[in-house]
């Protein structure tokens, strides 16, 4: 039988975290944000011990995508007010934590691995944040093809 639209597009998905972020951030206010924010905080991603074989060969990659859950987000809004602009934007044009599916995506630099612990730089997650997946970061977008949307406009307005 052909599945209905809502069954194919909106099944109830369930994920089990593969691990957790260990960072020095216990309060969102401590995480750098807004124009010129530097994301060079170090931390650890601790995977569940039974998943260790899945990390084989990861040391060869300088950077990783970390897919995680905004587990302490406060609801969701379709309009976001990013700290890097004084104008609102649609949530899907931003990295707001208040989104319909509270999923975060961070590119981190892999500094070292010890068993199931990945020591990384570029953490912007609270301590205890659940991690859903890790993938090698490979950018294939040439710089001249990149457009940065409203961010370019906001930067122009800020710097005149």
Ligand X SMILES: C[S@@+](CC[C@H](N)C(=O)[O-])C[C@H]1O[C@@H](n2cnc3c(N)ncnc32)[C@H](O)[C@@H]1O
The single residue among 19, 47, 91, 97 that binds ligand X, judged by CB under 6 A, is 97
Stretch that binds ligand X, among 4-12, 99-107, 112-120, 132-140 (CB under 6 A): 99-107
Task: Tabulate helix, strand, coil % of the chain (nearest 5).
Answer: 20, 30, 50
Stretch that binds ligand X, among 53-61, 118-126, 131-139, 144-152 (CB under 6 A): 118-126
**CA–CA distance, 15 with 113 (Å, rounded to integer):** 24
Is position 104 an interface residue for ligand X (rule: CB under 6 A)?
Answer: yes
Three-state DSSP at 124 gives coil
Q: Residues 32, 122: contact at Cβ < 8 Å?
A: no
**CA–CA distance, 133 with 67 (Å, rounded to integer):** 5
- Binding mask of the shown chain, residues 27 to 66, with x at each position contacting ligand X by CB under 6 A: -x--x-x---------------------------------
What is the smallest separation between the CB atom of 56 and ligand X, expressed in angstroms? 26
Task: Name the residue nearer to ligand X (CB basis): 27 or 50.
Answer: 27
Long-range contacts formed by 152-159: CB under 8 A, 24+ apart: 154/84, 154/85, 154/86, 154/87, 155/35, 158/35
Contacts to ligand X by CB under 6 A: 28, 31, 33, 70-73, 95, 97, 104-106, 124-126, 129
């Amino acid at each position: 039988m052909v599945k209905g639209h809502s069954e194919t597009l909106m099944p109830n998905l369930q994920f089990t975290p593969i691990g957790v972020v260990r960072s020095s951030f216990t309060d969102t206010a401590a995480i750098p944000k807004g124009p010129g924010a530097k994301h060079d905080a170090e931390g650890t991603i601790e995977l569940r011990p039974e998943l260790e074989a899945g990390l084989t060969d990861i040391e060869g990659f300088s950077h990783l995508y970390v897919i995680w859950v905004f587990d302490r987000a406060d609801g969701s809004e379709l309009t976001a007010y990013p700290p890097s602009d004084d104008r609102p934007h649609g949530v899907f044009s931003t990295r707001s934590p208040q989104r319909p599916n509270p999923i975060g995506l961070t590119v981190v630099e892999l500094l070292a691995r010890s068993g199931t612990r990945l020591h990384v730089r570029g953490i912007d997650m609270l301590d205890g944040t659940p991690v859903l997946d890790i993938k090698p970061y490979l950018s294939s977008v040439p710089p001249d093809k990149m457009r940065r949307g409203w961010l370019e406009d906001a930067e122009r307005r800020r710097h005149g």
